[in-house]
């Protein structure tokens, strides 16, 4: 195939890129240890090693239960339209699963911390663009925010945060389509090995929808109160 044809193919593939993505792999993060057969076995018999060999299903349920106790808030100050559950969506022609929720919002909309805790890392990469990792106060849940237009200049790694703090602003950095600003929001359990960017993903979709309904009802109540004055 001629080089020009290859280039055209590459351009066509880029143009077809869906509004998202990938697993976050921060630049400069320590290289993962080589996988061992034990680590790659997905159907390890339950209870061969007490406390270790839980099925992935029960691990997911435990992660979800943990996340539910955090009462996360909607991590954007404004939303464009409905929030879709894109957690199980395929990415890169089925090479990957999204394992995150994309929340469409106007460019420049404040990105709000979904939970209390602290900032783990602020860095840029080709897929996620301008990104931030944060962790909950118990050190059990990791949150990943990607495609930021820019950070809140008040933020820095290690800083303590509370729900609703502005982390940054919605944009299209990384591989987000230029005309589809959105927040790529991902939740993971902190793994035992401390490699927070590789933790087991948790689907926050249901909790985000609940958080949005809660916020909307508060806003409606405020509007009504203002009218009655
Ligand atoms: Zn995404």
Per-residue pLDDT of the chain (229 residues; tens, 9 = 90+): 454 544 444 444 433 334 443 334 443 444 444 444 444 444 444 444 444 445 667 777 889 999 999 999 999 999 988 999 999 999 888 889 999 999 999 999 999 999 999 999 999 999 999 999 999 999 999 999 999 999 999 999 999 999 999 999 999 999 999 999 999 999 999 999 999 999 999 999 999 999 999 998 988 999 999 988 7
**Run of H or E including 115:** none
Q: Which of 173, 218, 219, 209 is nearest to 81 (CA)?
A: 209
Of residues 185, 171, 20, the one with CA closest to residue 109 = 171
Report CA(211)–ligand 1 centroid distance (Å). Answer: 19
Q: What distance in angstroms lies between residue 19's CA and the mean position of ligand 1's atoms?
A: 7
Residue 115 alpha carbon to ligand 1 centre in Å? 19
CATH number 2.70.70.10 given to 19-23+59-228: yes
Q: Which of 119, 130, 118, 113 is CA-nearest to residue 77?
A: 113
User: What is the Å distance from ligand 1's center to 185 Cα?
Assistant: 7
**Centre of ligand 1 from the C-alpha of residue 202, in Å:** 14
Q: How far does the centroid of ligand 1 lie from the alpha carbon of residue 222, in Å?
A: 32
Residue 145 region by backbone torsions, left for phi larger than 0, else alpha for psi between -120 and 50, else beta: beta
Ligand 1 centroid–CA 3 distance in Å is 32
- Helix or strand or coil: residue 171? strand
Ligand 1 center–CA 31 separation, angstroms: 23
**pTM beyond cutoff 0.85:** no
User: Whole-angstrom Cα distance, residue 92 to residue 18?
Assistant: 9
Check: CB of residue 229 under 8 Å from CB of residue 214.
Answer: no
Q: Which residues contact 84 (CB under 8 A, 6 or more apart)?
A: 101, 102
Distance 21 CA to ligand 1 centre (A): 5
Report the separation in Å between the CA atom of 48 and the middle of ligand 1, taken as the mean of its atom positions: 36
| CA 145–ligand 1 middle distance (angstroms) | 9
| Cα 101 to middle of ligand 1, angstroms | 6
Total length of the chain: 229
In angstroms, the CA 183 to CA 170 distance is 6
Looking from the CA of 67 toward its CB, the CA atoms found within 13 Å total 27
Query: Would you state the structure tokens that stand for residue 158, as one six-digit string?
Result: 């290690």
């Amino acid at each position: 195939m001629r080089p020009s044809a290859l280039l055209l193919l590459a351009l066509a593939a880029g143009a077809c890129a869906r509004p998202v993505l990938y697993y976050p792999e921060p630049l400069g993060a320590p290289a993962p240890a080589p996988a061992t057969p034990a680590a790659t076995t997905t159907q390890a018999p339950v209870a061969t090693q007490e406390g270790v060999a839980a099925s992935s299903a029960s691990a997911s349920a435990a992660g979800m239960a943990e996340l539910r106790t955090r009462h996360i808030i909607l991590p954007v100050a404004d939303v464009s339209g409905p929030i879709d559950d894109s957690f199980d969506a395929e990415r890169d022609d089925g090479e990957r699963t999204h394992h995150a929720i994309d929340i469409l919002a106007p460019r420049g909309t404040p990105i709000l911390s979904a939970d209390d805790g602290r900032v783990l890392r602020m860095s840029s990469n080709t897929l996620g663009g301008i990104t931030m990792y944060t962790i909950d106060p118990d050190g059990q849940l990791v949150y990943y925010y990607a495609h930021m237009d820019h950070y809140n200049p008040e933020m820095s790694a290690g800083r303590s945060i509370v729900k609703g703090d502005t982390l940054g602003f919605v944009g299209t950095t990384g591989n987000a389509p230029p005309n589809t600003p959105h927040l790529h929001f991902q939740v993971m359990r902190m793994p035992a090995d401390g490699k927070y960017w590789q933790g087991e993903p948790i689907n926050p979709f249901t909790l985000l929808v609940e958080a949005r309904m809660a916020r909307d009802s508060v806003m409606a109540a405020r509007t009504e109160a203002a009218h009655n004055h």
